Amino acid sequence: MNVVYKINAPISVDQFIELLNESTLGERRPVDDLACMSGMVMNANLMVTAWIGNQLIGLARSMTDFHYACYLSDLAVHRVHQGKGVGKKLQSLTQAQLGPRCKLILVAAPAANGYYKHLGFANNPRCWVLERDHEIRG
* Cα R_g (the chain), whole angstroms: 15
Q: 10 pLDDT exceeds 90?
A: yes
Comparing 28 with 62, which gets the higher pLDDT? 62
CATH superfamily membership of 4-119: Gcn5-related N-acetyltransferase (GNAT) (3.40.630.30)
Confidence of residue 128 (pLDDT cuts 50, 70, 90): confident
CA 114/CA 49 separation, integer angstroms: 23
Q: What predicted TM-score, i.e. pTM, was given to this entire model?
A: 0.91
For the chain, the average pLDDT equals 93
Domain spans in the chain, listed from the N-terminal domain onward = 4-119
Q: Please name every residue paired with 5 in a beta bridge, in sequence order, or none if there are none.
A: 50
Model pLDDT, residue 59 = 98
